[in-house]
Amino acid sequence: MGADGFRLLEAVHAADAPGWLREIPAVVVLRTVWIKQYHRTVNDGGQEVAWREDKDLPPSRQRICSPYDTDARYATKRGCGWEGYQVHLTETCDDATETGLPHLVTNMATTDATVTDVERTEQIHTGLNRRNLLPHEHIVDAGYTSAELMVGARRDFGITLVGPLRIDNSPQARTGGGFDRTAFTIDRDNQRVTCPQGVQNTIWSTGSERGRESIVVGFPITSCQPCPARPRCTRSTRAGRQLMLRPRDIHDAVERARTEHTTDERKQRYAIRAGVEATIHQAVAVTGIRRSRYTGLPKTRLAHVFAATAINLIRLDAWWTGTPLDRPRTSHLARLDLGLAA
């Protein structure tokens, strides 16, 4: 930190610092950045200011990553890090010959970079609903799905949310041959669960896990401890196996979605989702949304709406004038073939 910055920090923190000094917007931002990046230690010999260690830093969602744009946040995805925002794009994908319209962008949802995809699904549906643009079916990638969202989308918006659900990540499912949830026989009406060794549960209690309703099922330690199959079932040596179940409607939705997603018909239907990648490419290449031209979330959001409008105008113009949107491509092999023929 420079000497001027340090002196200003001292002045702001001084007990007799005037209130107006702390309220100047630039001082508020700098003070927030400093507090989140540095810590000050006061001792007999004076005071010391040092960088916070990684473990002491607040989470990315709360950390201002640039004093020039206090809405921007730092995030990483698949090993790639960036500062700023992210945009979630929705477009129509019906058969254009039936609708008489090209595929058009219907929603741009802009958030700071730390908001996960799954946190946006419901807001995207709310936005589409407000503009009477809800689809019957919303095809999304795995990042936007969860069993709760599938049930909620159907219940609240009449939408079928189509997308792969995340795989069971329990240790038993990850290790081949382990007893995951599917190895147990579940009788919800009688709150009875039978394990692969024929033992029945002694605990059935409802609660919540990370804000989601769940049921905890427990098996008796007296049966689990001497059980020959224990290595495949639980790592605990002091307690019996515990199993986490979802409420019935959520459980059924998961089972249905997983079964449907393996059918050829659903795989074919789902393949259409890849089309949005071309739209993202168009947005990046034509409207330059990879870099925000503005600071602040509201202006960036507006810029993304302008980008969507531009894409739609280009597509409508191409549709009405019969202009192909993409130039015909010839593969390297085909070009070589043509070269040899000449």
Residues that bind ligand SF4 (CB under 6 A): 179, 195-197, 199, 219, 223-224, 227, 229-230, 233-234, 240-241
Q: Which long-range contacts (CB under 8 A, 24 or more apart) does 45-51 make?
A: 49/1, 49/6, 49/9
Chain centre distance of CA 244: 23
CB 107 within 8 A of CB 90: yes
Secondary element (H or E) of residue 162: strand 160-162
Whichever of 37 and 197 has its CB closer to ligand SF4, that residue is: 197
CA–CA dist 283, 257 (Å, integer): 31
Contact (CB, 8 A) for 120 and 88: yes
CB of 186 to ligand SF4, least distance (A): 13
Report helix angle 297-321 to 275-287, nearest 10: 110
- Shortest reach from residue 192's CB to ligand SF4, in Å: 13
Decide the pairing of beta strands 212-218 and 160-162: unpaired
Shortest spacing between CB 205 and ligand SF4, in angstroms:
17
- Check if the beta carbon of residue 243 is closer than 8 Å to that of residue 186: no
Q: Which is nearer to ligand SF4, 137 or 168 (CB)?
A: 168
Task: Please count the residues of the chain.
Answer: 342
For 149, the enclosing helix (H) or strand (E) is helix 147-152
- Residue closer to ligand SF4 by CB (options 73, 181) is 181
Tell me how far CA of residue 182 lies from CA of 89, 171, 172, 196, 251, in angstroms: 36, 13, 10, 10, 11
Determine the residue type at 268: Q
Q: Largest Cα–Cα distance in the chain?
A: 87
Q: Say what the alpha-carbon torsion angle 111, 116, 120, 121 is, to the nearest 10 degrees.
A: 150
Please answer whether residues 147 and 253 qualify as being in contact, where contact means their C-beta atoms are separated by less than 8 angstroms. Answer: yes
Rounded to whole angstroms, the Cα distance separating 205 from 194 reads 16
